[in-house]
Chains A and B, each alone.
Chain A
Amino acid sequence: MAGARADHHGGSRRWARRPGVLSRAGGFGVALWAPEADAPVVLAGTGPAVWEELAEGGTLDELAARLARRYGTEPDTVSADLAATLDALAAAGVAGAGGDSPVR
């Protein structure tokens, strides 16, 4: 994951949802299950907002800027948490950086 983290901060790779992810959203957050994953992941707190932004996708900096606008704060404030969330989403197989196209 350390390498992946370095990539996030490189700022040039585009993050997007992976195709085929099954999802449900509610007051509990967002439940996601990737096609090849053995287990689902549930996002709560600011996680659902990250998932929503990943529908459009973007670099770490772009995502951080949009989330900062949403929460009325500075991009630097959200960047560290965002990087960790993206790591978790990548590990769960529901999002990735690089040539993946967003799910419909």
Chain B
Amino acid sequence: MGTDVDALLTRVAAHGLPADRADQADPAGPRVAGDAAGPLDDDTFGALLAAARRERLVGLLAAATAEGALVVTDTQRAELHRAHREAMLACLALERLALAVHDGLAAAGVRHAFLKGVAWCHTHYPDPAGRAFGDVDVLVDPDGWDAAVAWCEARGARRHYPEPRPGFDRRFGRSVAWTFPDGLELDLHRTLAPGPLGQTIRPGEALDHLGAFPLGDRSLPRLEAALECVHAALHATLGDPVPRLTALRDVAQFALVTRPAPGAVEAWCRRFRVGAAVRAGLLGAARRFGLGPAPLLHWAATYVPGPTEDRCFHATVAAGGSYARQALATLPAVPGVRAKVAYALALAAPRRTYLDGDERGRLGRLRRVGGVLTGGGR
């Protein structure tokens, strides 16, 4: 392979973004995804397609080839079309799940808003075929959490991890992942970020500010654009140890295409004390894709986070992907002494069913948390 697949994939992830300059009224056309005058060799193409599948970038890879930004052979194009079709059929199946979830939660009177791919592909991308997704994400009002869980259970869905203690997810959890009998996955979110930052976000307030997106002949709820932008930046910064290209593309899409007013984004950052993390997400996308100045990126470059924002962000980042460290880092951010005690108790002494589950590593990670909380751990 003579071509750097990672570099190629990064450029695919940036395909179709408007030109860098914020003061241009019209986009200057698509970014070029590949430099080669001729088609990629089969090994490079195979590695690129595999990486694009993993990163859910097959739609943008298909767009880059269709628009001539990347040259492929007929055989490679046929393989890409098969992969794109497969990804889009999966998205349609997930959209059917989203419709069922919406009907179920609405019937139960549960306030909710769809997040990430299922909502953003229809609102912030010019063509939903360019933004694939692998599950349905929905933010649920904590007051309706139990009804949402009951809805999932009634349809035979299995949660990936049991709840440490009854009521823990509704009070302290970030999200709970479910798999339905047909293999489709749903993430019920209580909040929009992991660790300490998840405690500073008040989902009830977020759900007071809804937008909508079309699905079939229906209209489903999503968060307002400025708050979606905040969520995209949080997810890019904190969602994975190494930011996923899809998450960074979402951030770039908000910064350069949707362009929520910086003042509106800042208001949410101050309100939920997430400015330091949002700033990092925006600047991370700008660095990764070489984005030039845009109002939101200028705002990020000049934003000064408050001390609490900084502290919560650094505590979340320092905890990394470790469940135990995230759990411990979250404790100071849990509001109120009684809630702190309940949180610590749930982690130090989870109910038996939690420890008896079959997910590898759960017992160990809880023992580590419990050990630290009771003075016996590392």
| Chain A, range 19-43, C-beta contacts under 8 Å to B | 19-29, 31, 33, 35, 40, 42
Q: Mark A8-27, 1 if CB is under 8 A from B, else 0.
A: 00000000000111111111
Question: What B residues does A27 contact at CB under 8 A?
Answer: 62, 65-66, 77, 80-81, 84
Inter-chain contact B80/A35, CB cutoff 8 Å: no
Nearest CB of chain A from residue B121's CB, rounded to whole Å: 9
Question: What B residues does A70 contact at CB under 8 A?
Answer: none
Inter-chain contact A42/B129, CB cutoff 8 Å: no
Inter-chain contact A28/B214, CB cutoff 8 Å: no
Inter-chain contact A22/B85, CB cutoff 8 Å: no
Q: Mark A33-60, 1 if CB is under 8 A from B, else 0.
A: 1010000101000000000000000000
Question: What A residues does B146 contact at CB under 8 A?
Answer: none
Given contacts A26-B85, A27-B80, A31-B85, contact A20 B218 (CB under 8 A): yes
Nearest CB of chain B from residue A78's CB, rounded to whole Å: 24
Question: What A residues does B77 contact at CB under 8 A?
Answer: 27
Judge if B88 is at the interface, Cβ distance under 8 Å. Answer: yes
- Please pick, from A22, A24, A29, A40, the residue contacting B216 in the complex, using a CB distance under 8 A: A22
Question: What A residues does B216 contact at CB under 8 A?
Answer: 19-22, 35, 103
Question: What B residues does A42 contact at CB under 8 A?
Answer: 85, 89
Inter-chain contact B82/A28, CB cutoff 8 Å: yes
CA distance A94 to B350 in the complex (A): 50
CA distance A75 to B187 in the complex (A): 50
CA distance A20 to B84 in the complex (A): 22
Closest residue of A by beta carbon distance from B85: A28
Judge if B321 is at the interface, Cβ distance under 8 Å. Answer: no
Inter-chain contact A26/B88, CB cutoff 8 Å: yes
Inter-chain contact B217/A20, CB cutoff 8 Å: yes
Given contacts A29-B85, A31-B88, A104-B217, contact A22 B96 (CB under 8 A): yes
Inter-chain contact B82/A104, CB cutoff 8 Å: no
Question: What A residues does B91 contact at CB under 8 A?
Answer: 24
| Chain B, range 21-64, C-beta contacts under 8 Å to A | 59, 62
Nearest CB of chain B from residue A34's CB, rounded to whole Å: 9
Nearest CB of chain A from residue B375's CB, rounded to whole Å: 54
Residue of A19, A26, A29, A35 most packed against chain B (CB within 10 A): A26
| Chain B, range 82-131, C-beta contacts under 8 Å to A | 82, 84-85, 88-89, 91-93, 95-96, 99, 127-129
Judge if B264 is at the interface, Cβ distance under 8 Å. Answer: no
Inter-chain contact A19/B128, CB cutoff 8 Å: no
- A-B complex: 8 closest residue pairs judged by Cβ atoms: A24-B88, A28-B85, A20-B216, A28-B81, A20-B217, A19-B217, A33-B92, A26-B129
Measuring CB to CB, which residues of chain B are less than 8 angstroms from any residue of chain A? Answer: 59, 62, 65-66, 77, 80-82, 84-85, 88-89, 91-93, 95-96, 99, 127-129, 214-218
